[in-house]
Amino acid sequence: MEKICVFPGSFDPVTIGHLDLIERAAGLFDRVVVAVLHNPAKNGRFTVEKRLELLEKACAHVPNVSFDHFEGLLVDYMRSVGACIVLRGLRGVRDFESECQMAQLNRQMAPGVETLFLPTDPAHAHISSSAVREIGLFGGDVTPYVPATISADVARLLSPQPDR
């Protein structure tokens, strides 16, 4: 039976930390589905379509990775794609506390769903999508924090707009 892992997140934008986790998961599972969560309660900087486009471009070299988006409960999405493993990256202790709570809730709602926590590479532990957005929106250089294949796209999309 094919082992399918889902890596859910906002990926607004995808960072080198995300890419590292995707590449590592691709070595552990038959298929990795990177699933962009569309949360209507949040205003993302990039559209879901743009996030998927950037993810596909950043991960083009990883053959067993596919991309999708979903709304609603993760466990419902997991059932719809036949996956039983959720991948979550941990940058530190604070991430573990919130992610562990979510893993327990998911397991209670769907007993067959397991969560795999992968610690972030220490070189990337300080990077978050929100920090990248802030750096870019204030005119800073985002290239050290996003995959090289999309750095120009992200920089252009985040560049400060002149006052009108």
**SS3 for 69?**
strand
Taking every pair of Cα atoms in the chain, the longest distance, rounded to a whole number of angstroms, is 57
The reply to whether 38 belongs to the active site is no
Choose, from 10, 18, 31, 133, the residue flagged as catalytic: 18
Among residues 131, 157, 136, 159, the alpha carbon closest in space to that of 57 is found at 157
Q: Which among 42, 94, 156, 164 is annotated as catalytic?
A: 42
Catalytic one of 69, 79, 91, 107: 91
- Whether residue 18 lies in the annotated active site: yes
Instruction: Measure the CA–CA gap between 140 and 150, rounded to whole angstroms.
Output: 16
Catalytic residue among 10, 45, 88, 129: 129
Return the DSSP state at 46. Answer: S
Whether 156 is catalytic: no
Is 107 assigned a catalytic role?
no
CA pair distance 20, 124, nearest whole angstrom: 9
Q: Which residues are catalytic?
A: 18, 42, 91, 129
